[in-house]
Chains A and B, each alone.
Chain A
């Protein structure tokens, strides 16, 4: 029986496809709640948005899960933990950077202690927003589905409708302003 099944699988479907199908519908994220974005993830997996419809089951140990949801600001101390958690996870593994803080520092962009997530681990999907809505998190998981399927790309196609006839004409470009006068800078900052 198993021999026949194996023959069938090898002939009819690529094994990789079946494997990817399995991975796609069992994305178990580790919560790495480092900031306020974690609240929205709780929302996402609650009954209102019910991310389990897409196979997303929040889990609490990294050795049994395959997605890291980086929820918010990563400080330099936490970056070491993030790296360690990432190394402990079994393959295949994915990283979602959630929120402006994880993407590019957010409102802590000039802090002495905040790092960008993609300098620590490779990121698969970025989620913009401060905080991103639960819909955006679900959209990111669907983007991850598409990526595993082999069709990465934006979830929302850009609009192809030409709206220019319906819009007011663009303002005329203003006359160029004179260049600011260069004054001597004080020596000490």
Chain B
């Protein structure tokens, strides 16, 4: 039985930002799609994420609205999703730019963009706690920010567990059943 591979980007389509984005990010571009809400979604190379962030910033996007990850356990990879938006630029009003990138699940490391977009700092810390992705360059990696220091810790090894990974088992604290 072969599992159907879920699409990492929504189906392709035309978008007004597409030509500009392709020109700005250059060789980091892999694929693109348009979400049902009409936002552009680009798939980029994981090792070029800092160049992409700088290019996106010079286009006029001024903050990271959301940074999250999707756990594709069967395919052994994480898809990290950045959503950029703009407060100031009038022609980017109402536009959200999704930027997605794939990293391997057994060594989840990606460069931090917190110094380019300061609003990504807290999002990276949260993503690190929930998925165990290591954002290289962010000084808060390895520390607890949102989670209780005593919870989600492997009892045998004492290592932290990551609660939003698909293989995390919710401990029974008497709430269930």
Contact = CB atoms under 8 A, between A and B. Distances in A.
Q: Do A and B come from one complex?
A: yes
B163 A112 contact: yes
Interface string A110-133: 111111100100000000000000
Contacts of A119: 173-174
A110 B175 CA distance: 7
Interface string A44-78: 00000000000000000000000000000001110
A155 interface: no
A112 B152 CA distance: 8
A113 B176 CA distance: 13
A110 B170 contact: yes
B159 to A, nearest CB: 16
A113 B148 contact: yes
Main secondary structure of the interface of B (DSSP, over half): loop
B175 A113 contact: no
A186 B152 CA distance: 27
B88 interface: no
Report, as a range, how many residues of chain B touch the other chain.
10 to 19
A104 interface: yes
Contacts of A38: none
A105 B147 contact: no
Interface in A76-130: 76-77, 80, 104-105, 109-116, 119
Interface in B74-120: none
A76 B148 contact: yes
Contact of A114 (B150, B168, B175): B175
A37 to B, nearest CB: 17
B115 to A, nearest CB: 29
A112 B174 contact: no
Interface of B: 147-148, 150-152, 163, 168, 170-171, 173-176
8 contacts: A76-B151, A105-B175, A110-B170, A111-B175, A112-B151, A112-B163, A112-B168, A115-B173
Interface of A: 75-77, 80, 104-105, 109-116, 119
Given A75-B148, A110-B175, A116-B175, 4 more contacts: A76-B151, A110-B176, A112-B151, A112-B171
